[in-house]
Structure 1
């Protein structure tokens, strides 16, 4: 039933898949990955053997072929056994760095069984596709030459599979996900009606429809520190922070939603605040409270933050299916707000900053127009966990100083652009900032940032560098397998504790906002007090008391 050489190639790739990558995997993820890697290895060698036969290159006699199979099987099986024995140690080498409990050794057997089941399912699907190809080419061979029938049959089979998966299964899954996430947007506590305060978005006379704001927007508008709590922390009078949020359901057009956001900002006096943040949410519309709470504390509440939703999907899905919607929304929002801001008198307008996390960082960067802003630049930007396709991030990486690490580049002398991580604060160089301050906050263990499509056949550049403190020293490159590992890492990148992977915590945001916005009369002691207040549970936002 199985061909020996492809099976050995599959086992070899399954063994390689057990090595660690950026995010720790439990037995279920590892089983799926190992089974998929085995199927990929099997498929690759089947293709190469078919190509070998098509080129009419002589094959070994059966006796010699059998001997080769035995000779090759011994080291492959030995390597597989060794990798299985080491898999828990490899995974624990990441988990210990992320302060996660070690794996249970008893799960290894379940992982192996799951890997075998996944491989078998994928193998049967492959046999089904081969059967479709054989059916088509045999039918076509009745009317056209066999060589042409083979080519046309392969093309037709590929088109049918593509249409079924892309326009059938994938679109069906996308519609189901979109509908479920859209429904989740409206799940809220029935005892939480629209705010009665006139200074809140969605309140009396608001331009924003509270019922159409969605759960992420309602949570953002209602949460956060109040003026009394902020005043108690800073030791002086504080303002109520302004939070403006327009939901995706408000209007179909991104330009109209952006205009509603601008009108609401004007109504609430957002342009009269000292600090104005144009933020882009994640794919679901979520706004990380760890970031915004900290910022409002350090500026005594004299902050206005505006965001407009563009999707209901989780960021990895929105990255694939709704890429343009986020870019269009961020561009429309930033263009309107910047135009209003730049026509204000210099001494009357707020300090303007851009901010985004994950997919929001990508869309925010996309809306950053240096040609539009060259004469009157904004004050800065904090972009967190920028996804790998972000063009501005890639251009900045390419401009790094020779010899500076790929995961934390140094651009010129750091006056305009800096990089930071949980182990490398933004002001570690001690050098002064320039007029414009742009900070990228990223983790070396964040696959959303460091995924690379070319890892299918070559090691990403960052793999040639010494591993960061949150990356396993046993990480290595294997063609095809590394690509699959990084794809799985992206899918589960938020499963890590705060401060690792694609999960950023309050302490990192605090360092980032201090560096970018330079709060008045702020000291290192204030930073320490705010970090103590927010603590390691920063994902829940800073405490209000």
Structure 2
């Protein structure tokens, strides 16, 4: 039933899949990865053998083939057994760096059983596809030459599969995912009363519909510190921070949602604040309280933040299936806000910043137009966990100093663009900032940032560097497998503790905002006190009591 050589190639990729990557994998994800890796090795080798036969190159048969298979099988099985024995230790080499408990002893057995099940399921599916191809080519061979029948049969089978997966399976899964995320948004929650203050979005006189804001928006608007809590912390008078949020359900047109946001900003006096943040949410519309809470404490509440939702999906799904939605929405919002801002007298303008996390960072970067802003630039930008396709991030990386790391570049003299991580603060540079301050915050263990499509056939550039403290020293490159590992890493990128993977903690946001916005009268002691107040005791944001 199985071909020996493809089976051995598949087992070799299983062994490689057990090596660590950027994010720890439990037995479920590792089992699925191993099963898919085995199927990929099996299919790739079957393809090469078919090509070999098509070229009519002689092949070993009979006893010679059996001996050759045995000679190949011995080292493959030795490598496989060694990798299985070391798999838990390899995973624990990442887990220990992220302060995650080690795997239990039953992990390996469960993982191998699942891997076998995944491979067999994919094998059966592959046989069904081959059966479809054989049916088509044999029918066609009655009317056209065999070679033409083979080619046409392959094209027809491939077309059928593309239509089935794209218009059937994928679209169906997307409809289910979209409806489930819509339900999770609780668009009409009868138990949550709208705000009572006129300066709050969804409150009295607001142009934003509270019922259509969605759970992430309502949490953002109602969350965060009030003026009294800020004043208690700083010992100075404070204002009520303005949080303006427009939900995706407000209007189907991103341009109209942006116009609604601008009207709400004008209604609430957002342009009268000292600091104005144009923020782009994550795929689901979430606004990380660890970032916005801390910022409002630093600036005595004299902050207005505006955001417009563009998707209901988790960022990895939105990144694949709703790529343009976030880009279009961020651009529309930025055009509205910047257009009004630049018409204001310079002495009356707030300091304008762009901010985004994850997919929001990508869309925020897309909305940043340096040519439009060349004569009247914004004050800065703070982009966290920028996804790998981000053009501006890629361009900045390409301009890094040759002696700087790919995971933590140094651009020119650090006056305009800086990079930071949990191990490298943005203010480590001895040079002063320029007029425009741009900061990228990224973890070396974040696959959303460091996934590389070319890892299918060559090691990513960051793999050629010494591993960062949050990356396993056992990480290695294997064609095909590394691509699959990084794809799985993206799926579980938020399963890490704060400060690792795609989860950024309050202390990192605090350092970032201090560097980018330079709060007036702020000291290192203030930073230490704020870090003690935020992201502690299970809180994502700050203790705003």
TM-score interval (norm. to shorter): over 0.9
RMSD: 0.9
1:374 matched to 2:374? The reply is yes
Contact 1:506-1:539 within 8 A present in 2 as well:
no
Give the CA deviation at 1:403.
1.6
Aligned to 2:150: 150
Could you tell me which runs of 5 or more consecutive residues in structure 1 were left unpaired when the two chains were aligned: none
Aligned to 1:397: 397
- In 2, Cα distance between equivalents of 1:189 and 1:125: 43
Contact 1:419-1:439 within 8 A present in 2 as well:
yes
1:408 matched to 2:408? The reply is yes
Give the CA deviation at 1:372.
0.5
Please list the CA deviations of residues 430-478 of structure 1 after superposition, one character each: whole Å capped at 9, or x if unmatched: 2210000000000000000000000000000000000000000000000
Aligned to 1:263: 263
Aligned to 2:112: 112
Contact 1:361-1:384 within 8 A present in 2 as well:
yes
SS in 2 for 1:370: coil
Select between 532-541 and 488-497 the one with higher mean Cα deviation.
532-541
Select between 382-391 and 533-542 the one with higher mean Cα deviation.
533-542
Contact 2:240-2:301 within 8 A present in 1 as well:
yes
Aligned to 1:532: 532
Please list the CA deviations of residues 337-381 of structure 1 after superposition, one character each: whole Å capped at 9, or x if unmatched: 001001101110100000000000000000000010000000000
SS in 1 for 2:347: coil
1:166 matched to 2:166? The reply is yes
Could you tell me which runs of 5 or more consecutive residues in structure 2 were left unpaired when the two chains were aligned: none
- In 1, Cα distance between equivalents of 2:72 and 2:537: 52
Aligned to 1:290: 290
1:497 matched to 2:514? The reply is no
Give the CA deviation at 1:536.
4.0
- In 2, Cα distance between equivalents of 1:78 and 1:188: 59
Contact 2:290-2:535 within 8 A present in 1 as well:
no
Aligned to 1:320: 320
Aligned to 1:459: 459
- In 1, Cα distance between equivalents of 2:74 and 2:278: 60
- In 2, Cα distance between equivalents of 1:430 and 1:503: 28
Give the CA deviation at 1:33.
0.4
- In 1, Cα distance between equivalents of 2:286 and 2:444: 23
How many residue pairs get aligned? The number is 545
Aligned to 2:98: 98
Aligned to 1:54: 54
Please list the CA deviations of residues 63-117 of structure 1 after superposition, one character each: whole Å capped at 9, or x if unmatched: 2111010011111011111000000100000000001000002121111111000
Aligned to 1:280: 280
* Change in 2 beyond 3 A, CA 1:446/1:538: farther
Contact 1:288-1:539 within 8 A present in 2 as well:
no
**Superposed counterparts of 1:415-494, under 5 Å:** 415-494=415-494
- In 2, Cα distance between equivalents of 1:535 and 1:184: 25
Please list the CA deviations of residues 382-418 of structure 1 after superposition, one character each: whole Å capped at 9, or x if unmatched: 0000000001100110011112100000000100000
**Superposed counterparts of 1:330-345, under 5 Å:** 330-345=330-345
Aligned to 2:207: 207
Aligned to 1:72: 72
- In 2, Cα distance between equivalents of 1:183 and 1:108: 37
Contact 1:505-1:538 within 8 A present in 2 as well:
no
- In 2, Cα distance between equivalents of 1:482 and 1:494: 19
1:17 matched to 2:14? The reply is no
Please list the CA deviations of residues 219-273 of structure 1 after superposition, one character each: whole Å capped at 9, or x if unmatched: 0000000100000001111000000000000011111000000000000000000
- In 2, Cα distance between equivalents of 1:198 and 1:434: 38
- In 2, Cα distance between equivalents of 1:539 and 1:171: 37
Contact 1:505-1:536 within 8 A present in 2 as well:
no
Aligned to 1:40: 40
SS in 2 for 1:352: strand
- In 1, Cα distance between equivalents of 2:448 and 2:56: 44
1:302 matched to 2:302? The reply is yes
Give the CA deviation at 1:540.
2.1
Contact 1:404-1:410 within 8 A present in 2 as well:
yes
SS in 2 for 1:540: coil
- In 1, Cα distance between equivalents of 2:130 and 2:535: 56
SS in 1 for 2:438: strand
- In 1, Cα distance between equivalents of 2:504 and 2:189: 27
**Superposed counterparts of 1:198-237, under 5 Å:** 198-237=198-237
Contact 1:315-1:359 within 8 A present in 2 as well:
yes
Q: State the TM-score, normalized to the length of structure 2.
A: 0.99
- In 1, Cα distance between equivalents of 2:468 and 2:195: 46
SS in 1 for 2:372: helix
Contact 1:388-1:450 within 8 A present in 2 as well:
yes
Please list the CA deviations of residues 22-66 of structure 1 after superposition, one character each: whole Å capped at 9, or x if unmatched: 000001111000010000000000000000000001112322111
Give the CA deviation at 1:519.
0.1
Contact 2:15-2:80 within 8 A present in 1 as well:
yes
1:184 matched to 2:184? The reply is yes
Aligned to 2:352: 352
SS in 1 for 2:381: strand
Please list the CA deviations of residues 305-330 of structure 1 after superposition, one character each: whole Å capped at 9, or x if unmatched: 00000001110110111110100000
Aligned to 2:138: 138
